[in-house]
C-alpha cells in the first residue's frame, strides 16, 4: 500500500471515529476527553495570533479577557476563540447533563448494578412483599442495624408501581434498592452481587394468569441459578461450612412443581433451597386454625419478628460449653433465665442439623446448640438453681389430645382443607363432610336457606372459606344479623388473603376470627430469610407428627388453683413432659412467656403428641 493510500485509509478511519454518531454513542469519559483534546488544540493553534499560549488560554477559559486584546488580528482571532470556547463549554455541560439524566433514569428504572455485600435479595413481586419487609424492618430495628434489601423485578412496570407506593418512613431501618432485569439471565444476578448476598428469596409472581404459569416462571429462575456451576458450588460450600445462604422459593400447591424444585436443589441429605407452598407449613397451620383459631394466633405471634421468637443459641455464649455435657434436658430447662429452652439442635454434617424438640429424657452432647423461645437472645443467662427441681406428676393435670371433637361448618372451597382431619376425631370428620357448602352461583351463599342452616346448625366453628370479596360480604352479613350474640360471633372464622380487607374486618367487626393466610406466609418467609433451619422446626410444629403446640383448658386439663407461680407451673408441666410457653386469655389473645395467670382461659404448651 502506497503512502497516499495509507493516508487516505487513516483519514477514513479518523472520520468514522469522530463522526457525530460515534461521539453521541461513546461513553461519557470518551466524550469529555474528545472535548478537552479539541479545546487544547484550539488554544494551541490560535496562540500565535493572540500573543502567546497564556493569553490564548485566558481568552478561551474566560471571555472577559477578550477586552484586553489589541489590533485587528487579535480582535478577529480572539472573537473566534471566545465563540469556540463557549461552544465547547456548552458541549461539556450538555454531556454532563445527559449523563446525569441517564443516571437518574437508570436509578428509576432499576438498571444500575449493586456492588455491596451482606444484603437480602428478593426476586419478583406479590402482595406479601410489603408484609415481609415490615417484618425485616422490625428485626433490624430491634438489632439496631440498617439492613440492605435488594428487590429484583423482571418487568419495568413493577418497578414503577413499587416506587409509586414506596414510603421510606414505613421501613426506616431498611436501605432498599430497586432493580429491574432479565431474571432468566445469570448475568442479572451477578450484577446484583448474588455471591455476596446472605439470603435469596424468590417470591411467586402475581402477574400470571394461573399458578401453573407462575410456578413454571419460578422454576425457570431456579434452573437459571442452579445451572451456574460457580453459584451452585458457592451454595454447597456455604452449606458444608455451616453458614448456608438462606435461599427459599415460593410455589403454588402443585406437587409436581415442588418435586422439581427439590430435585434441582438437593444436596447430599438436604436441600439448598427451602420450598414454600400453600400445602406445607402454612397450609397445615390454617387447617388447624379451622378447628381452633387460637393455633393461628400462636403461630402468628411466634413467626413475628417482634416479641417472642425461636432462636438457635450457641452454648459458647455462656462461657465454657463443656459444663453442659451430659446434663439432662430437664436440668437445663430450669437453668436459664430470659428465655424458654424448647430443645436441642445437633449437626449431622455437611451443614445439616437434626432438631430435637421437647428433648425430655435426652442429655446435652458436645457440638449441639440450644433452641430457645425468647424475646432477646442476648439476654439469656445461665443461672442453675441452687437445689435441683423434683418433677412429680399431678393427677389433676390431664394432658390434651390433638384430635378434638368439634362440629365444623365450612362454606366454600377457595382454600384447601388440607390436613384438617388430622386434628379432629372420627365423628367430627363425618360431620364435616356433611357440613361443607359449595355452590357454583355466588348468590347461593347469601340465600335465606343457607343462612338459616348456619344459624340453627349448632356448629362449634363456622369457617368462611371463600374469596376475599365473597368472604367479606358473607362475614358482614352474618355479623350484622347476630350483633347481640357474641357467642355466635366467636364461632365465625374467616380466611382471607387481602390484608386491607382483614384490617377493615378487624377494625369494624368485633368478635369474629380472621385468618390472614398471606400475612402468616409473609412472616414465615421473613423468618426463613434469617434462620434457614427454622423450616425444619415449623414443619414439625405445624403437623401432627412429633412435637406440637397444645392447649390446656383451665378447669378441664389443669385446675385454676395450680396457676399461681410461673416457675411452679413450669415444673408441674415438665413432669408430664410438657413445656410451658404462655397463656390464652378469655378474649383468645395469646401471651407468650406470660408470668401472669389472671384472666387465663387456656395454657399454651409444647408437647409430643398425646402425653400419658
Kind plus residue range of the DSSP H or E element containing 488: helix 486-489
pLDDT confidence of residue 611: 40
Question: Among the listed ranges 45-54, 128-137, 459-468, which one has the minimum average pLDDT value?
Answer: 45-54
> Cα angle vertex 224, ends 220, 229, to 5°?
150
Q: Express as a percent the part of the chain with pLDDT over 70.
A: 92
Q: Is the pLDDT of residue 302 over 60?
A: yes
Mean pLDDT calculated for residue range 201-210: 89
pLDDT bracket for residue 1 (50, 70, 90): low
Cα(307)–Cα(311) distance, integer angstroms:
12
For residues 127 and 161, give the distance between their C-alpha atoms in angstroms, rounded to a whole number: 12
Q: How confident is the model at residue 226 (pLDDT cuts 50, 70, 90)?
A: very high
pLDDT, position 191: 92
Q: Is 525 exposed, middle or buried (0-12, 13-18, 19+ CB in 10 A)?
A: buried
pLDDT at 54: 83
Which tens digit of pLDDT belongs to each residue from 239-297?
888 788 999 999 988 889 999 999 999 987 678 999 998 768 888 888 888 888 899 99
Give the residue among 305, 309, 319, 307 at the shortest CA–CA distance from 381.
319
Query: 16 or 29: which carries more pLDDT confidence?
Result: 29
The residue among 337, 401, 333, 340 whose CA lies nearest residue 582 is: 340
Q: What is the pLDDT of residue 612?
A: 37
Give me the pLDDT at residue 391, please: 85
Would you state the pLDDT for residue 182?
A: 92
Burial 291-305 (b: 16+ CB within 10 A, else e): bbbbbbbbbbbbbbb
Over the stretch 161-190, which tens digit does the pLDDT of each residue have?
A: 888 888 888 999 999 999 988 999 999 999
Grid cell digits, residue 379: 439476654
Cell of 240: 458444608
Note the maximum CA span of the chain: 119
What is residue 13's predicted lDDT score, i.e. its pLDDT?
A: 56
Task: Give the phi and the psi of residue 250 in degrees, each rounded to 5.
Answer: -105, 130
Choice between 18 and 63, residue whose per-residue pLDDT is larger: 63
pLDDT of residue 15 exceeding 60, the answer is: no
Among 561, 540, 588, which Cα is nearest to 356's? 540
Q: Which of 49-53, 217-221, 357-361, 431-435 has the highest mean pLDDT?
A: 217-221
The residue among 158, 134, 159, 160 whose CA lies nearest residue 147 is 134
Closest CA to 305 of 525, 604, 123, 114: 525
Q: Is the CB of residue 325 less than 8 Å from the CB of residue 365?
A: yes
Q: Could you give the 3-state DSSP secondary structure of residue 605? A: strand
Read off the pLDDT of residues 379-431 as tens digits, 9 standing for 90 and up: 999 998 887 777 888 889 988 877 788 999 999 988 777 778 888 889 998 98
Q: Are 364 and 326 in contact (CB under 8 A)?
A: yes
What would the pLDDT profile of 429-446 be if each residue is shown by its tens digit? 898 888 999 999 999 999
pLDDT tens digit sequence for 51-72? 788 887 777 777 777 777 777 8
Per the structure block, which three cell numbers stand in for 247? 435461599
Domain boundaries, the chain: 3-109, 120-277
Strand ranges, E, within 264-328 = 266-267, 270-271, 273-276, 309-313
- Compute the distance between CA of residue 245 and CA of residue 265 in angstroms, rounded to an integer: 13
Higher pLDDT, 579 or 536: 579
d(CA 443, CA 445): 5
Is the pLDDT at 10 greater than 60? The verdict is: no
The whole-number average pLDDT for the span 316-333 is 89
pLDDT at position 400: 80
pTM confidence score: 0.79
- Residue (of 440, 593, 588) closest to 514 by Cα position: 588
> Residue 306: which pLDDT band, with cuts at 50, 70 and 90?
confident
Average pLDDT over the chain reads: 86
* Band of pLDDT at residue 89, cut at 50, 70 and 90: confident
Q: What is the mean pLDDT of residues 587-594?
A: 90
- Give percent of the chain with pLDDT exceeding 90: 41
CATH architecture observed for domain 120-277? 3-Layer(aba) Sandwich (3.40)
Amino acid at each position: 500500500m502506497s503512502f497516499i493510500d495509507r493516508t487516505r485509509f487513516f483519514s477514513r478511519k479518523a472520520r468514522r471515529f469522530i463522526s457525530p454518531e460515534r461521539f453521541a454513542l461513546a461513553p461519557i469519559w470518551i466524550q469529555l476527553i474528545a472535548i478537552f483534546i479539541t479545546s487544547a488544540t484550539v488554544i494551541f493553534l490560535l496562540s500565535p495570533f493572540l500573543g502567546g499560549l497564556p493569553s490564548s488560554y485566558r481568552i478561551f477559559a474566560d471571555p472577559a479577557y477578550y477586552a484586553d486584546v489589541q489590533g485587528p488580528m487579535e480582535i478577529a482571532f480572539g472573537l473566534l476563540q471566545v465563540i469556540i470556547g463557549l461552544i465547547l463549554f456548552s458541549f461539556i455541560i450538555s454531556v454532563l447533563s445527559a449523563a446525569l439524566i441517564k443516571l437518574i433514569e437508570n436509578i428509576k428504572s432499576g438498571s444500575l448494578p449493586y456492588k455491596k455485600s451482606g444484603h437480602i435479595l428478593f426476586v419478583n413481586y406479590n402482595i406479601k412483599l410489603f408484609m415481609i419487609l415490615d417484618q425485616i424492618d422490625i428485626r433490624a430495628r430491634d438489632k439496631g442495624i440498617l439492613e440492605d434489601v435488594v428487590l429484583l423485578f423482571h418487568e419495568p412496570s413493577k418497578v414503577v408501581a413499587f416506587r409509586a407506593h414506596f414510603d421510606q418512613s414505613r421501613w426506616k431501618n431498611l436501605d432498599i434498592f430497586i432493580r429491574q432485569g432479565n431474571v432468566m439471565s445469570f448475568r442479572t444476578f451477578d450484577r446484583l452481587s448474588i455471591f455476596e448476598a446472605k439470603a435469596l428469596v424468590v417470591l411467586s409472581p402475581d402477574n400470571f394468569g394461573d399458578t401453573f404459569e407462575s410456578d413454571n416462571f419460578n422454576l425457570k429462575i431456579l434452573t437459571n441459578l442452579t445451572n451456574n456451576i460457580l453459584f451452585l458450588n458457592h451454595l454447597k460450600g456455604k452449606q458444608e461450612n455451616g453458614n448456608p445462604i438462606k435461599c427459599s422459593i415460593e410455589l403454588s400447591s402443585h406437587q409436581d412443581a415442588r418435586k422439581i424444585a427439590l430435585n434441582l436443589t438437593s444436596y447430599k441429605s438436604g436441600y439448598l433451597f427451602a420450598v414454600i407452598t400453600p400445602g406445607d407449613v402454612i397450609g397445615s397451620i390454617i387447617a388447624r386454625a379451622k378447628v381452633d383459631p387460637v393455633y393461628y394466633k400462636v403461630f402468628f405471634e411466634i413467626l413475628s419478628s417482634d416479641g417472642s421468637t425461636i432462636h438457635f443459641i450457641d452454648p459458647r455464649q455462656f462461657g465454657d460449653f463443656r459444663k453442659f455435657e451430659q446434663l439432662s434436658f430437664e436440668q437445663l430447662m430450669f437453668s436459664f433465665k430470659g428465655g424458654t429452652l424448647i430443645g436441642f439442635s445437633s449437626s449431622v454434617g455437611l451443614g445439616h442439623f437434626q432438631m430435637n424438640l421437647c428433648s425430655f429424657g435426652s442429655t446435652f452432647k458436645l457440638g449441639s446448640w440450644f433452641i430457645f423461645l425468647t424475646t432477646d437472645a442476648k439476654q439469656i443467662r445461665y443461672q442453675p438453681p441452687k437445689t435441683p427441681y423434683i418433677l412429680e406428676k399431678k393427677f389433676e393435670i390431664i394432658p390434651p389430645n390433638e384430635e378434638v371433637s368439634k362440629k365444623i361448618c365450612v362454606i366454600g372451597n377457595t382454600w384447601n382443607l388440607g390436613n384438617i382431619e388430622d386434628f379432629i376425631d372420627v365423628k367430627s370428620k363425618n360431620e364435616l363432610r356433611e357440613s361443607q357448602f359449595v355452590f357454583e352461583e355466588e348468590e347461593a351463599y347469601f340465600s335465606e336457606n343457607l343462612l338459616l342452616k348456619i344459624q340453627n346448625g349448632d356448629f362449634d366453628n363456622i369457617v368462611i372459606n371463600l374469596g376475599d370479596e365473597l368472604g367479606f360480604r358473607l362475614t358482614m352479613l352474618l355479623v350484622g344479623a347476630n350483633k347481640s350474640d357474641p357467642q355466635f360471633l366467636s364461632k365465625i372464622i374467616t380466611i382471607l388473603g387481602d390484608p386491607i380487607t382483614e384490617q377493615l374486618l378487624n377494625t369494624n367487626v368485633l368478635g369474629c376470627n380472621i385468618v390472614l393466610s398471606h400475612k402468616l406466609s409473609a412472616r414465615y418467609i421473613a423468618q426463613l430469610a434469617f434462620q434457614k433451619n427454622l423450616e425444619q422446626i415449623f414443619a414439625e410444629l405445624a403437623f401432627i407428627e412429633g412435637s406440637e403446640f397444645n392447649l390446656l383448658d383451665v378447669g378441664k386439663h389443669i385446675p385454676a388453683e395450680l396457676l399461681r407461680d410461673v416457675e411452679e407451673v413450669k415444673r408441674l408441666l415438665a413432669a408430664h413432659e410438657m413445656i410451658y410457653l404462655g397463656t390464652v386469655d378469655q378474649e383468645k389473645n395469646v401471651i407468650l412467656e406470660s408470668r401472669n395467670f389472671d384472666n387465663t382461659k387456656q395454657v399454651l404448651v409444647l408437647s409430643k403428641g398425646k402425653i400419658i
